[in-house]
Amino acid sequence: MSSARRYSPEEKTLNKVKYGLKGFLLFVLPIPLLIAAIISLIRGEMMHTLVSGAAFAGFMVSAMIAREGFKGEGKYQRHRFAKAPSTPFKTIAAMFLGVSTGLTALFATGDGFSTGHIFNSVLLGVAALLGFYFSYGLDPRKDKTGGISLSVSADEVFEALEAAEIKIAGIEVARKNINNLELDQHLRSITKKARGILETIKNDPNDLDRARKFLTVYLDGTQRVTESYAKTHSKEATTEALDSNFRRVLNSIEKTFDEQQEKLKENDRFDLDVKIEVLETQLKQEGVV
């Protein structure tokens, strides 16, 4: 029996909130600079306005970059099997914060450019960078395989997951070109459930071999039939029969997926062969695969 942790939409939402709030102080602490810029503007002190405004902007940019880093870290930490973030957002944010702090200290005090003042400004910048590091750490740089014994390589798993995400994105792009509320809801549900499958694979990639056929048939078939229907729909060339066929295919795909989710609850494995064969046959009959 697999030891995979069952996918939970509620837990995913809580994780988004958690990592969305992380680093909140990075947005709050620079507010006095904004106030100082407004006061300087009212007084007509343009140089002070520019310095305070630029400093505030620098800290805000640093906070926004850090937020992207926290989101990437959250995705990385939630799975036993995960690829390290491709862009070191937290590291970039820490450096940006250090530079912004140093330049603010250098220009905002009006103490000139003496050697001692420059040294103190650099020191403050380094202290800000270190403060970020000790508070939030830097980006994960090593892929996580969790010590799982895989029948396929880690690269194959990463490649399969990335390919699946691309297919889901393709379905979502096509969905936006279909002006039909019922079909839109079907496709939204399908892509949401597909991402649930990917979450399960990330938590236990040992099941990839058995899930690969499901992902291929489910996602390839759904993407192709959706893109084909969207293309016809955009030309206003759809017919009642075509609409009915497309609706029936989506119902079959969604029903099959629901049944597989029940299998996951029972034994945490993908018992797909029979259902996939039925679905694949129907997709072929509809001219999808």
φ, ψ for residue 82, nearest 5 deg = -155, 150
Q: Are residues 42 and 159 in the same domain?
A: no
SS3 76: helix
Q: Are residues 185 and 95 in the same domain?
A: no
Q: How far apart are CA 103 and CA 163, in angstroms?
A: 44
- Asked if 232 and 27 touch (Cβ cutoff 8 Å), the reply is no
Which of 86, 107, 136 lies at the terminal end of a domain, its last residue? 136
Per-residue pLDDT at 160: 82
Q: What is the DSSP string of 195-220?
A: HHHHHHHHH-GGGHHHHHHHHIIIII
> What are the distances in angstroms from CA 216 to CA 74, 112, 168, 208, 264?
27, 65, 11, 11, 18
Per-residue pLDDT at 1: 36
Q: How far apart are CA 68 and CA 76, in angstroms?
A: 12
Per the domain annotation, does 122 fall within a domain? yes
Q: Are residues 183 and 74 in the same domain?
A: no
Q: Are residues 79 and 189 in the same domain?
A: no
Per the domain annotation, does 110 fall within a domain? yes
Per the domain annotation, does 123 fall within a domain? yes
Per the domain annotation, does 147 fall within a domain? no
Q: Strand pairing partners for 82? A: 144
Per-residue pLDDT at 2: 39
One-letter identity of residue 153: S
Q: Are residues 206 and 273 in the same domain?
A: yes
Q: How far apart are CA 129 and CA 156, in angstroms?
A: 37
Q: Are residues 266 and 238 in the same domain?
A: yes
Per the domain annotation, does 106 fall within a domain? yes
Per the domain annotation, does 182 fall within a domain? yes
Helices (H), the chain: 9-21, 24-28, 31-43, 46-77, 89-108, 115-136, 154-175, 181-203, 208-215, 221-234, 240-267, 273-285
Per-residue pLDDT at 285: 60
Which of 136, 171, 192 lies at the terminal end of a domain, its last residue? 136
Q: Are residues 115 and 179 in the same domain?
A: no
Residues 6+ apart with CB under 8 A from 39: none
Single out the residue of 164, 165, 205 nearest to residue 5, CA to CA. 205
Per the domain annotation, does 141 fall within a domain? no
83: its two tokens: 């690829």
Residues of the chain with pLDDT under 70: 1-21, 79-80, 109-113, 146-152, 206-207, 209-211, 213-214, 234-239, 260-289
Per-residue pLDDT at 76: 80
Per-residue pLDDT at 14: 46
pTM for the model: 0.57
Which of 136, 170, 194 lies at the terminal end of a domain, its last residue? 136
Q: For the chain, what is the domain count?
A: 2
Which range marks the domain in which residue 46 is found?
9-136
Per-residue pLDDT at 269: 47
Q: How far apart are CA 181 and CA 128, in angstroms?
A: 51
Per the domain annotation, does 196 fall within a domain? yes
Q: Strand pairing partners for 144? A: 82
Residues 6+ apart with CB under 8 A from 153: none
Query: What is the sign, positive or negative, of the torsion defined by CA atoms of 215, 172, 162, 68?
Result: negative
